[in-house]
Structure formats: C-alpha cells, structure tokens
Amino acid sequence: MALPYNRIIIKIGSNVLTQANGMPDLDRIAHLVEQITEIKKQGKEVILVSSGAVASGRSLVTVSEKFDAVATRQLLAAVGQVKLINTYTALFGKHDLVCAQVLVTKEDFRDRQHYQNMQNCFQVLLQHHIIPIVNENDVVSVTELMFTDNDELAGLVASALNADALLILSNVDGIYNGNPKEEGTKVIEEIGHDATDLASFISTQRSQFGRGGMLTKSYMARKVAALGIAVHIANGTTQNVLTRLLDEELINTRFTPKKAASGKKKWLAHSEDSAKGVVQINEGAKQALTSPKATSLLLVGVTAIRGAFKKGDIVKLVDETEKLVGLGIAEYDSENATEHIGHKEQRPLVHYDYLFLNPDMA
C-alpha cells in the first residue's frame, strides 16, 4: 500500500551524490531523477534539497593549498552550483520536466517577511509543476550564517511548506538500535513521540563529504515530526529507494508525526537563533507546559528574565538547569515582564498558540 503523501521534500546527502573519490556520481543522480519523475507522474509535489555543489566544483577546479577552508568552499560552491543545476536541468529535461534553483541562507528563515516571501516563491513554482531544487548559498553562507547541514535546511523547507513528508537519503538504511557493524543490530523502523535517549547509540561521526551526521538527522527529524510531518531516513544508494520507500517495500526509519502544528509554530520551531531574550521557568511551569493539556506560560512560573526584548519578539524558555523547554513569542516586553515576575493574575507572557515545545521535553 502506497504512503498517502502528496507534498514531499526529498533531501539528498553528499555521500549519496558523490563517488568515493569525492567526484559527482552522475549515474546515481540520473537514477534518482528517474524516480522523482515517476513520483511526479502520480500527481505528487516534489521539492528537492540537494547537496553536491562543492563536489561538482571539485570536478572542475583544482584549488591551491594556500587558500583557507572558507575561501576554498566558496570557490568550489560558486563554480559547482552552476554545474549541479545544469546537470539536474538536463536530466529532468529528458523527462519534459522543468526545475528551478532556489539558493537560501539561514537569514532567510529568521525574518518573518523573508520566510513568507520564500513560501510564496515555492508556491508559485509548484503551481506551475516546476521542481524546486534547494541548496544553501555556500558562496555567502560562512561561519554563523551556515546551516548545521542540509538536513537542517530540509527540515526548515518542510516546515515552511507544510509538507506531508520529508525523505532524508543518507548512506545508511536508517537509525540502528546499536552499532551497525555488530551482528544482530537492526534498523529501528518506527520512532514515536516518546522515544528517549537516542543519542546513546547513534554515532556522532559525520559523513565523509557532508557536514552532518546521524545525531543531527535524528534531532531534526524529531523536531519536524513534532510539527505534524512524517520523516523517513533511508539509504539513498539503494536501487529504486524512493519508489520502494513510498510503496512501503523498503526498510527505513520513520519518525511518527504528531498532529499538524500551525504555521506560526512551524516557523518558531526553527527560530532558536533569532531569540532576543531568555525566560527561565520553575519546575511547576515546566510540568504545566509539557503536560498533554494546552497551557500558556504565566509570569507566576517565571524565575528570571535575561536580555532585552519587545512585544512580538521570539524568546527562549529554559528550565532551572538551562535546558531548552521551548520557543515562544512574547506578549509584552522584557521590562514589563521583569517587573511582574512571579505575580499571579497577569496575562500570559507566552500564549500557547505562539509556543513551540522542545520535542525532548514534550
């Protein structure tokens, strides 16, 4: 039975798109394009988040060792992104499909207006049956402007577009219940909302050519699933991985989605870096917020305010051990909040409708 997904984000990692020598694997890219074509024929919407610009640049340019890592990455990305999008254009063109390049930075997701502009751009592309191909703008994204990796970017895109599913193609079959190299270790095929301590058996090793690893994938996957979007992690080097996954014929890890969240909460989920202040809460407030009942944050449960923020700004909520509880939009400024810390009979500092809870807490 085919999975009932209509709007699908497909993220293809560097280790799927590259050969062992770091050069692009054109045969595999062509095979993935063929599968995406089959999915499109079923009337589904597909947005592709693709790594591979730096690898494509590496196939064209030899960089002198005198340049530092940032300059080298900028050069390879600038040259390689042209080759990468031309490769996709030619391959999709064989199937009479048109693709579009969408390059973004982290800043595009921090500002609400930019965020909505991006949503509008994607929407008009999809309405014209064009396949958006998204990548980080590595030419200008350096240091603090960089996404953790393209998994984070894919999660942001999935959230912004209210996708039904995010398919992450890596070079492993999914998340294992132990060391994949040890006998008897199996892929965890379903991870629910109450899963805990995944980090205890997930390797922190990063991929050979990418910036991320399975730990960042799992963290991002839980966050996206908490917003109502199914997330699958599968082996992109497997033959017909996409069509078999959607037909439920492939072993992979699926993160079970919760009830769909509002658009504001989906934006908030990925806005930690945009927070203007920190609100520390006591244990009672933490228990109330993370209970099944929808609860707003009242000042009676606040123990400290740090940083200056205005009404409408994003704030971090942390517990007494400084662990992130959630992100919210402040209903009034830090000065008024500080003045009424611990007081009862005050309207909420953060209303439930504008509160996203850390999935590790909820």
Positions at the binding site for ATP: 11
DSSP 143-204: GGGS-S-HHHHHHHHHHHTT-SEEEEEESSSS-BSS-TTSTT--B--EE-TT---GGGTS--
- The binding site comprises 11, 51, 138, 150
Question: Distance between CA 362 and CA 357 in Å, rounded?
Answer: 6
Establish how many alpha carbons lie within 13 A of residue 21's alpha carbon, considering only the half-sphere containing its beta carbon: 5
- The binding site for substrate comprises 51, 138, 150
Question: Distance between CA 301 and CA 282 in Å, rounded?
Answer: 6
DSSP state of 298: P
Secondary element (H or E) of residue 315: strand 314-318
Structure tokens at 151: 């998994």
Question: Distance between CA 353 and CA 345 in Å, rounded?
Answer: 19
Secondary element (H or E) of residue 120: helix 112-127
| Residues shown for the chain | 362
